[in-house]
Chain A
Amino acid sequence: MLPAPAPVINSTTAEFWKATTEGRFILQRCDACDIVLWFPRRNCPKCWTEDVSTFDAQQTGTVYSFTVVRKGKGAFQNAGPFVIAYVELADGPRIMTNIVDCDIDALHVGMPVEMVFHDTGEGSALYRFRPLSA
């Protein structure tokens, strides 16, 4: 399995990362202007209100772009070739992530994917994607 290094967590992102340990991916929505927010923030980046709420997002999307890193560094040094991608979520935001459990040669922009969670062992799980099972 691809290494799952723990992310940096702060007071604003703690709720998000806690949810990942329960297999949930939460997004924020601005209560005032109704836009979906990415990444987690205290203030809406459109109207700057603090009135934002969270919801459980759909865990599907499509590959917006991807790259195969041929040799990683640090925790990924011995990972072999792996995929970094932007996935466009069904709820809208394009998010940076990894694609796992996939045939690298079959990977393509527009490919439907579904979310998986890889536990970091430190109170968080990394949200990654695999090809959507037919």
Chain B
Amino acid sequence: MMTIRGAAYVAGIYEHPRRDIPDRTLFEIHTEVALGALADAGLTMSDVDAVFCDGTAGFGPLSLVEHFGIHPSYFDSTETGGSSYLAHVGHAAAAIAAGKCSVALITLAGKPRTGRSVVSYAQGPETGFESGWGVSGAPHTYALAAQRHMYEFGTTSAQLAEIKVAASIHAQYNPNAYLPYAVTVEDVLNSPLVADPLHRLDCCVVTDGGGALVVVSPAVARSLGRTSAKILGHGEAVKHTSNGGIDLTYTGAVWSGPRAFAEAGVSVADIKYASIYDSFTITVLQTIEDLGFCKKGQGGKFVMDGGLVAPFGKLPFNTDGGGLCNNHPSNRGGVTKVIEAVRQMRGEAHPAVQVPNCQISLAHGTGGSLGSKHGSVTLILGQEDA
């Protein structure tokens, strides 16, 4: 069976340093992050032969390619919310393995703070049945998942708060972080309830910004002076309401995780660092259970006592401060998940949170809602010689 293991490398990364960008358009931010990631790889726009973007960039690849002024031989606009960019990495690797392209550019840009924040989708068949109830923000449906997890497994608000605390400990080393300071469990519990049981500090930040990734063939990677991260495995899945049978206690990671681990030929014990999508604290808790870092229902215990704190916790996570504290550009955190994992593999995370000998890492995205349907994507990355 053909796999993407070792068929492609992440050679360039760039995270926009700003969190409020009133003076640039959406497409200008796409260009800025694209040029940043290409420069990081030692490539230029003229080297790009594949473009990947989400469904918010105008007419997708048509608008973006015209804006960039290039003529790629491959494009993909898979739209699964915040997990889109992890899917793009997997799809780019598959396209490179199939010989369709050799330098794939993945960009994300958005301005929920200073520009248009609402992404409009065509009405789906569920529209009349998942609206009308006053659902006006992601916290409302994620809260439903948190409440049920608490009911079934005894998970507590203090345990969820530990996830924010760990992210905030990391964020204090990131001068670009939107919330660059440490918070306590009490700070989280004392912040206003948004949608029970989720408090304001259980939620990610809202930031303008963007990021970009450059995925290249092994031959291109070898030609570059920069250290790349080897793509070892990729898995994706959609979890939905299953014809009225929704179970709010697990995520699509129960399917995407095993697919990625199998392709990579590694197990959870091999993962030294994990970027776990953190739209909300509950998103992290359910995901680490579903990926197998602990048993179902034990996530609350797992995250206590600094379990997620780098560099020496059981599972160092989100060392940039994550979506919870650093950056959630365009209300989508997927691209920053890959970026920080690559920093860890290169040994370029902040020294205070750099995981020693970080040979293999995982990046996971959750886009959509835990409370209805979402796209889950798991990537496993290794150092160049992994």
* A residues in contact (CB < 8 Å) with B: 2-10, 12-13, 17, 35-39, 41, 45-46, 64-70, 72-76, 79, 82, 84-86, 89, 92-98, 109-110, 126
Q: Output the least CB separation between A94 and chain B (Å).
A: 5
Partner of A84, one of B144, B193, B244: B144
Q: Output the least CB separation between A57 and chain B (Å).
A: 11
Identify 22 residue pairs between A and B in the complex whose beta-carbon atoms are under 8 Å apart, listed by A's number: A3-B134, A4-B132, A7-B127, A45-B243, A65-B148, A65-B248, A67-B140, A67-B143, A67-B144, A69-B136, A69-B140, A70-B193, A73-B136, A73-B137, A76-B134, A76-B136, A82-B134, A84-B134, A84-B135, A94-B241, A96-B372, A109-B148
- Residues on the B chain within 8 Å of A95, using CB: 129, 244
- B244 contacts A92, C-beta separation under 8 Å: yes
- Residues on the B chain within 8 Å of A98, using CB: 133-134
Partner of A74, one of B126, B136, B241, B243: B136
A65 with B144, Cβ < 8 A, contacts A37-B243, A72-B134, A98-B134 known: yes
- B128 contacts A9, C-beta separation under 8 Å: yes
Q: What total of A-B pairs shows CB separation below 8 Å?
A: 111
Closest B residue, CB atoms, query A17:
B128
- B131 contacts A7, C-beta separation under 8 Å: yes
- Residues on the B chain within 8 Å of A75, using CB: 134
Q: How many Å lie between the Cα of A74 and that of B137 in the bound state?
A: 11
Q: Output the least CB separation between B282 and chain A (Å).
A: 11
Partner of A94, one of B133, B137, B244: B244
Partner of A72, one of B136, B241, B248: B136
* B residues in contact (CB < 8 Å) with A: 123, 125-137, 140-141, 143-145, 147-148, 151, 192-198, 241, 243-246, 248, 372
Q: How many Å lie between the Cα of A72 and that of B123 in the bound state?
A: 22
Q: Output the least CB separation between B238 and chain A (Å).
A: 13
- B128 contacts A13, C-beta separation under 8 Å: yes
- Residues on the B chain within 8 Å of A37, using CB: 243-244
Please list the 3 inter-chain residue pairs (A to B) with the smallest Cβ-Cβ separation, ordered nearest first: A93-B244, A38-B244, A67-B143
- A93 contacts B245, C-beta separation under 8 Å: yes
A39 with B126, Cβ < 8 A, contacts A46-B243, A70-B195 known: yes
- A38 contacts B143, C-beta separation under 8 Å: no
A96 with B128, Cβ < 8 A, contacts A67-B147, A69-B195 known: no
Q: How many Å lie between the Cα of A93 and that of B127 in the bound state?
A: 17
Q: How many Å lie between the Cα of A8 and that of B123 in the bound state?
A: 9
A66 with B144, Cβ < 8 A, contacts A84-B134, A93-B244 known: yes
Closest B residue, CB atoms, query A89:
B244
Closest A residue, CB atoms, query B134:
A76
- A85 contacts B244, C-beta separation under 8 Å: no
Closest B residue, CB atoms, query A44:
B243
A70 with B194, Cβ < 8 A, contacts A39-B125, A76-B136, A84-B135 known: yes
Q: Output the least CB separation between B216 and chain A (Å).
A: 40
A5 with B132, Cβ < 8 A, contacts A70-B192, A92-B244 known: yes
